[in-house]
Chains A and B, each alone.
Chain A
Amino acid sequence: MTSATEVVRPAADFHGLKRVAVRRVTAPGILNNLILGAIAVLFAIPLLWLVLASIDKHASWSIALPHFTLSNFSSSLSAGRGQSLVVSLELASIATVVATVTGTLAAYVFSRRHIPWKGAALLFVLFLSGVPINVIIIPMYQIFSQAGWLSVVPTAVFIGITGLPFEIWMIKNFIDAVPAELEEAARIENVSTLKIIWRVVVPLAAPGIGAAAIYGFVNAWGSFLIPLVLISNSAQQPGAVTVYSFISAAGVNYGDIAAFSILYSIPVVVLYLAMGRFFRGGFVLGGALK
C-alpha cells in the first residue's frame, strides 16, 4: 500500500521530469486524511453515545462525560429483559439449524448435480434473498393465526426460512470450490450420498457453511418485525422487541437502554468478525456476486 514517503520510481528523465518525485506530506494528502477523518468522526458520534451512556450513572440522550458505573449492565437485564435475550438465542438457534441443514442439502444439489432450469432456479433464489419481509408478513400472520402457531418455535422456523435463500447461495459457492475428485473416490466405494455430504463435503466446505450459519444466526437475532407480529405472548418476545418497548416506556433510564443495546448487539458484532475471517472483507459479495 502507498505510505506517506513512498518513492514513485520511473521518473528520472521521463517527459522532462528533472527529479525523483518523493511523496511526502502534501496538501492533497492532508486534505484526504482530514476529509476521511471528518466522515469517520461523524460516523462515530452515535456509537460514542452508546458506549458513554452505558457506563454513565446519570446518562441522558446526549454525549456527556460519564459518571462511571457498571450497574447499568446489571439493571438493564432486570424485569424479564435478560429472559428476552434467552428467547433471542432460542429463536436464532432454531432458525440457524433449520436454514443451514436444509440449505446445505439444496446447495449440494445446485453445486454438483444436473437439474433442469438450474440457472433460473438459482437466480430465483438470489432474488428471494432480497425480498423485504414486510411484503409477506400479513399473509404469514393470517396463516399462523389460523393454524394456532403464534409462538416461539414456528416463528423461529419462519425466520430461518427468510434467511434460507441467501444461505443456499453462500454454501453453493463454497461447495463449488471443493474438488469433486474426493467425492468420486467415495462414490466408487458405493458410499451413500448423504454420507458423502456429511463426511466429505461438509468438512471441506466447513468455513463456508460456518459463515452461512453465522449469517443465518445474525439475521434471526436482529429480526424485529417477525417476532413482533407473530409471537402473541409478550413475555416470549426476543431482545429486539424488548429494546423497542424500552423506548416507548415512560420514566426510562437511558443508561439501561444503552447498556441493554450493547449486550444485545455484542453477539452480532462478534459473529460478524468471526465470519470476516472466512472472507477477508467483501464477504457479502462472496455469496452473491462472485
Chain B
Amino acid sequence: MSSDTLTASPPQGRRLDKRRFEWGSSVLLLPAGILIAAVFVYAVIYSFYIGLTNLSLLGPKAVAYNFTGAANLSRLVNDPFFLHSLWLTFIFVFGSGVVGATVIGMALAVLMQKALVPVRLFTGAVALIAFMLPPVTIAIVWYAASVPQGTLARIFGNPNSDPLFSAPLLFVSLANTWSLAGLAMLMFVAALRNIPKDITEAATIERVGAVRRFRTITLPLLKPTVVTCGLLMTLLSLGNFTIVWLMTGGGPGTATTILPVYSYQQGFEFNNLGYGALLGNVMLIITAVFGVGYVLVARGPRRKKGRSS
C-alpha cells in the first residue's frame, strides 16, 4: 500500500479500522458446515476412492472389496457404451436444455410482451405449471402422451404407433424442455423488463421492423441472460435423471442411457458400484466445468461494483 510510506511505524496491537473475525461466527456456521462437508466434500472424496475399487452392490465384493487402481479407468476409456452415453448426454443436455428450453423460454417472453391479456395469462400459467410440477409427474404426463394409444399417437394418425419407442431421445428431450421452459421464460421476462422502453420506441418511430428490432436491439441486450440461462439449463438438464428413468429406463436398448442413467444402471442394476461411482465422477467433472462458468457469469455484474458486504 502507498500509505505505508507515510506511517513511521506499523500500528501496534489490533487494528480497529478493519472488521475482525468473531469466533462466534464459527459456531453459527458449524451446523450447516458439517452437513455440507459430510455430503459434498466427504462423499465426493469417498466417491473418487470408490471409483477406483471393485466395490459391488451384492456378493462377496460388497464387503471385501479392493483398491484396483486404474483398472476402472482403463475400462472407462475402452467402454463403447460410455462414449455412446456421453454423446447422448450431450444431445440431451444441449438440445433440450440449452437450445430447446432457452429458445422457447425467450420466445414465450418476447411474444408475451405484445400479446392480448387472456393469451398472455394462459401461456404464462401453463408454462409455469409445467415448470412447477414435480419431476415424477412430468414423466407421467409425457409417458402418457407418447405411448401407444396415447394422445400424440392419435394426433399423428395411427393410435397403435409408439412414438416413445421410435424416437425415445426426442420425447425425453421434449419432456425436459417442457419442464424447463417456464423457468427460462421467467428469466427472460425479468430481463425484458429491464430493457429501457425508449430504445425500442425510438426504433419503432423510425419504422424499424419488428424482426430487425428484435435482432439488433433486444437480442444483444438479452445476451447476458441467454448465457446465464443456457448454463443454468445445462446444470438442471444434467440433473434430470428422473424424467428419463421413468419414461424409458434408459431404453429401448441403450437409446436414452444418458450419463446419470448409465451410472445408476452400472451401480444398482449391474451391481458395479465401483464403476458406477467412476461414471458419477466423470459427471461431477462435467458439472464442475459448467458450474464454474455459471458462477463466474452470475457474479459478473457484481464484480464491477467492488467488494460489497
Contact = CB atoms under 8 A, between A and B. Distances in A.
Contacts of B186: 281-285
Interface residues on A, range: 35 or more
A142 B137 contact: no
Interface in B253-273: 259-260, 263-264, 267-268, 273
Interface string A226-260: 00010000000001100110010000001001100
B28 A193 contact: yes
A115 B21 contact: yes
Nearest to B228: A289
Contact of A261 (B29, B115, B137, B268): B137
Contacts of B36: 125, 128, 161, 164-165
A139 interface: yes
A7 B122 CA distance: 26
Given A138-B263, A265-B133, A131 B287 contact: yes
Interface string B36-47: 101110011011
Interface in A49-95: 49-50, 53, 60-63
Contacts of B246: 224, 243-244, 247
- Residue among B114, B189, B246 having the largest count of chain A Cβ atoms under 10 Å: B114
Given A132-B238, A136-B39, A49 B130 contact: no
Nearest to B209: A28
Contacts, number: 295
B47 A37 contact: no
A168 to B, nearest CB: 7
B242 A224 contact: yes
A36 B287 contact: no
Contacts of A125: 36
Q: Would you call the interface of chain A mostly helix, strand, loop, or mixed?
A: helix
B283 interface: yes
B108 interface: yes
A126 interface: yes
B307 to A, nearest CB: 8
A11 B107 CA distance: 29
A225 interface: yes
Interface stretch (B6-14, B69-77, B79-87, B138-146): B138-146
Interface in B2-35: 18-22, 24-25, 28-29, 31-33, 35
A240 B134 contact: yes
B130 A139 contact: no
Interface string B105-118: 00110011111110
Contact of A139 (B50, B152, B290): B50
Contacts of A109: 25, 28-29
A142 B46 contact: yes
Interface centre among B25, B38, B134, B204 (most CB of A within 10 A): B134
A188 interface: no
B156 to A, nearest CB: 12
A182 interface: no
A93 B204 CA distance: 53
Contacts of B115: 32-33, 36
A185 interface: no
A197 B31 CA distance: 15
Given A139-B47, A139-B50, A43 B126 contact: yes
A8 interface: yes
Contacts of B31: 101-102, 105-106
B40 A131 contact: yes
Contacts of A174: none
Contacts of A261: 136-137, 140-141
Contacts of A243: 136-137, 140, 246
B35 A102 contact: yes
28 contacts: A3-B117, A14-B205, A29-B114, A32-B114, A40-B126, A43-B178, A44-B126, A46-B144, A49-B144, A61-B144, A61-B150, A62-B144, A62-B149, A62-B150, A62-B154, A127-B295, A128-B36, A132-B260, A134-B259, A139-B47, A140-B39, A142-B46, A143-B46, A160-B35, A247-B140, A265-B137, A269-B129, A281-B189
User: What 7 pairs across the A-B complex have the smallest Cβ distances?
Assistant: A132-B239, A222-B134, A106-B32, A114-B19, A46-B141, A282-B190, A134-B260
Interface of B: 18-22, 24-25, 28-29, 31-33, 35-36, 38-40, 43-44, 46-47, 50, 55, 104, 107-108, 111-117, 119-120, 122-123, 126-130, 132-137, 140-145, 147-154, 159, 178, 181, 183, 186-187, 189-190, 201, 204-206, 210, 228, 232, 235-236, 238-239, 241-242, 245-246, 259-260, 263-264, 267-268, 273, 276-277, 280-281, 283-284, 287-288, 290-292, 294-295, 298-299, 307, 309
